[in-house]
């Protein structure tokens, strides 16, 4: 779990870079102003987390991010009693802290959490906007500037890991995909400082790789990996070696697939 604080004016002056693709920034603001919870769907590495950080800074709200996992419990989110110095002390969890502070709580890959965990979100995602804390007897009323945001990758969903319809229908939802080629090129250039020609080569290359999803590759090459490859190249790494390290090895363990991808890379960069 990581806390990222974006206080006041400093947050406005230091907004993380994000390249809008559609009307997602306006939709986020509408949801925030109207006290609506938000669900973001999209593949790994398409910019979901960066988007939330960008919007939290724009709105000058504290952001508390929770990376969900199989062992995440309701107590991990809400809080628990801890024993120290001979006494029992209550310690707020990240969800409770966000409610008390009036911040944005972002649950990344929420379907990874245990099924019973999402139940604690329900009172916060309807018109009550409350967080009952059974162990302390408190019932926190969420302030107007509290917002709950969750995300998940639909490609990973199965019968064991999915968001129940009764939970999904409590959220306004935005569907993310990878940016169009021209915008993805701008993102790579802005993130790494690489020149336009190299950025275009990389974006074109990744476009070819993405056509292999569900065939030779289980997961599509992400914008994040694209930025990694560009960062290595901008630092002086050979283009083929940079792409092998950032775009081939993270995507496959199959030797034949890796060899085929490497041939495409060599052809792209004239080797």
pLDDT per residue as tens digits for the range 86-142: 788 899 999 999 999 999 999 999 988 887 788 899 999 999 999 999 988 999 999
pLDDT value for 83: 86
Beta-carbon contacts of 188 under 8 Å, excluding residues fewer than 6 positions away, are 194, 199, 202, 203, 223, 226, 227, 230
Q: Which helix (H) or strand (E) holds 242?
A: helix 239-243
pLDDT band at residue 164 using 50, 70 and 90 as cut-offs: confident
- Global pTM reads 0.88
> Residue 119 has what DSSP assignment?
G
Q: What confidence score (pLDDT) does residue 159 get?
A: 45
- pLDDT value of residue 118: 84
Contact 54, 18 (CB under 8 A): yes
Whole-number mean pLDDT of the chain?
Answer: 90
């Amino acid at each position: 779990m990581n806390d990222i604080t974006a206080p006041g004016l400093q947050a406005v002056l230091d907004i993380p870079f994000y390249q809008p693709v559609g009307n997602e920034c306006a939709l986020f603001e509408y949801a925030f102003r109207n006290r609506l919870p938000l669900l973001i769907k999209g593949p790994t590495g398409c910019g979901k987390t960066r988007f939330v950080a960008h919007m939290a800074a724009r709105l000058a709200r504290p952001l508390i991010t929770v990376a969900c996992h199989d062992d995440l419990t309701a107590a991990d989110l809400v809080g628990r009693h801890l024993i120290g110095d001979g006494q029992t002390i209550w310690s707020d969890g990240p969800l409770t802290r966000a409610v008390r502070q009036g911040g944005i709580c972002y649950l990344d890959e929420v379907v990874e959490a245990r099924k019973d965990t999402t139940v604690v979100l329900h009172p916060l995602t309807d018109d009550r906007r409350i967080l009952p804390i059974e162990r302390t007897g408190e019932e926190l009323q969420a302030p107007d500037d509290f917002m709950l945001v969750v995300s998940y990758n639909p490609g990973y969903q199965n019968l064991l890991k999915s968001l129940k319809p009764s939970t999904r229908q409590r959220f306004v939802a935005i569907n993310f995909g990878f940016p169009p080629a021209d915008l993805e090129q701008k993102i790579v250039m802005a993130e790494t400082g690489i020149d336009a020609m190299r950025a275009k080569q990389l974006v074109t290359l990744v476009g070819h790789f993405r056509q292999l999803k569900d065939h030779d590759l289980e997961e599509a090459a992400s914008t994040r990996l694209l930025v990694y490859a560009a960062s290595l190249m901008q630092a002086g790494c050979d283009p083929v070696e940079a792409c092998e390290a950032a775009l081939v090895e993270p995507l496959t363990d199959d030797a034949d697939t890796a060899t085929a991808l490497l041939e495409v890379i060599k052809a792209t960069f004239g080797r």
